[in-house]
Structures are given as structure tokens and as C-alpha cells.
Amino acid sequence: MDKRPIGMFDSGVGGMTVLKEIKNKLPNENIVYLGDTKRFPYGSKSKETIIELTKKGIEFLLKKNVKIIIIACGTATSQALDVVRKIYNIPIIGIIEPTVEYIYNKQNIKRIGVIATNGTIRSNGWEKSIKEKINNIFVTNKACPLLAPMAEEGWTNNEIAKLAISKYLEDINNVDALILGCTHYPLFEGVIKQVLGDKTEIINTGKTIAEFTKKLLKDKNIENKELNNDYKIYLTDIECNFVNIAKELIKEDLIINKAEI
Ligand code: DGL
């Protein structure tokens, strides 16, 4: 039993799609969420910058006495997770490993698409991790740099979103599943479903992370067994659309605090 919060981190509102799934799967857990809105978007930045920003985010969360950290950002996971795991003495979960484990256990996925930010696709992190664990799988990658900024703007279900998704998914056909390799992308799930149809499974990393986190907390015996879920949200810049989008996702009023980092 451990009442300390789970620390979560993203460049903006994307990680809230992961928080939503954690809330469903682990309703007792307290959460401290950091959105680095001042430096959004991460997807277009260099690996060096992403490592530096990820370290800042982790150090902020460590001061909040968190028991584990979820890097709820595909860009930071693919470029900084290996580095920060060697520096900090706390369990750190990214978005790739839980998802690859899910695909591995499903066994029927032979052709898979990955959509993510430029930085994530450039790192080749998804394809490398998938192929390390699963034989004879065909992976198609596609960078969709406009989607995360559109999600921050709240443009996730309008004509522009439909056009952008249709254009980005032009090359992704005939896949058994599509990984939403950026945590902002579940906000477009409705439109993506319309474009791809029913035959393609859409993999929301928030769901695989929640499952993975539940198991990790249990294995380490650090679950919170009493219902006292408290969500503390910190943003590095509060002049943004975050609250409206996050409220829609979580269906709860959220108090936003300013993080000075
Ligand atoms: N939500 C993030 C990701 O998963 C970051 C998007 C961005 O900041 O460009 O990649």
C-alpha cells in the first residue's frame, strides 16, 4: 500500500488521454500531471532538447514525491526514455513497451501502421521495439506533424481534422492495426475510425499503459488501496486551451497550477 501519487508528463494535453485510462483502470491512485505547454510542441525538436526537457519534467515530478513516473509522450519516450532510466532511481514507464507487449500477446497482428510526431518517427523507436520482440511483422510509419497542434487547438472532429487524417492515412492501408504513437492522437479516434473503417484495430496507448501500470504497482506492492484519487495538474504555461480539452476527456473539474520550470 502506497498513497504517493503517480507522476505523469507530456508536452501538453496529450498525456491526459493516458490519465483518462489510468483513472478508469486504477481509480484509487493519486496523480500529479505535468504538461510542458510552454515548450510545446516536442515533436519538432531535436533529441538533445527532448532529453533535456524530459529530465526537467522528471525532476519536477520527483519533488512531488511520486512513486513511479509515466512519460505519457511518444516523442519523449522514443528519444529520452533509455537515457533517463539510467539516471533516475525510480520506475519510469514509457508508451512503447506496454504497447509492444500488448501486440505480442495478441498474436494476430501481422501488418501494423504507426502514426506519430516527426521526432518519434525519425527515432524509429516503434519499429525497432516491435521488431525486436515480434518476428515476421510488417511496419509502416507515418509522421503526422500537424495533428498534435490541432489537438491543442481543439480541432479534432471538424472538416480540417477529416482532411488532415485522410491525407496522412493515404499510405496506410491494409494494416491489421494502427498504433496511435502520439498521446494526442486518441483525441482524433472518431475521425480515424471513420477513415479506416472497422477492419483495422486502433491501438490507444493509454489503454496499454494503464494495464501495464496496474501490473507494475501490484508486482511492487505499491498500489493505493483506498479511494482518495486526487489529481494535481501543473502546466508550464497556463495561457492555453488545456482546461477545456482536459475537462471533456476526464469529465471532472480540474484545478490548474502553474509549474515554474
Ligand atoms: N503527446 C506527445 C507525443 O506523444 C507530444 C506531441 C508534441 O509535443 O509534438 O508525442
The pLDDT score that the predictor gives to residue 227 is: 82
Instruction: Please report, for residues 41, 143, 248, the alpha-carbon distance to residue 185 in angstroms, rounded to integers and kept in the order given.
Output: 14, 12, 15
pLDDT for the residue numbered 75: 98
pLDDT score, position 222? 97
Burial of 88 (0-12, 13-18, 19+ CB in 10 A): middle
168 close to ligand 1 (CB < 6 Angstrom): no
Residue 253 CA to residue 104 CA, distance in Å, equals: 37
pTM over 0.95: yes
pLDDT at 239: 82
Spatial contact of 47 and 123, defined as CB atoms under 8 Å apart: yes
Q: Are 30 and 3 in contact (CB under 8 A)?
A: yes
CA distance 189 to 77: 21
Is the CB–ligand 1 distance for residue 79 below 6 Å? no
Asked whether 129 lines ligand 1 (CB < 6 A), one says no
Residues of the chain with pLDDT under 70: none
Maximum alpha-carbon separation in the chain? 48
- Which of 8, 9, 11, 79 to probe ligand 1 with, by most ligand atoms within 8 A of CB? 11
Question: How far from chain centre, in Å, is Cα 117?
Answer: 12
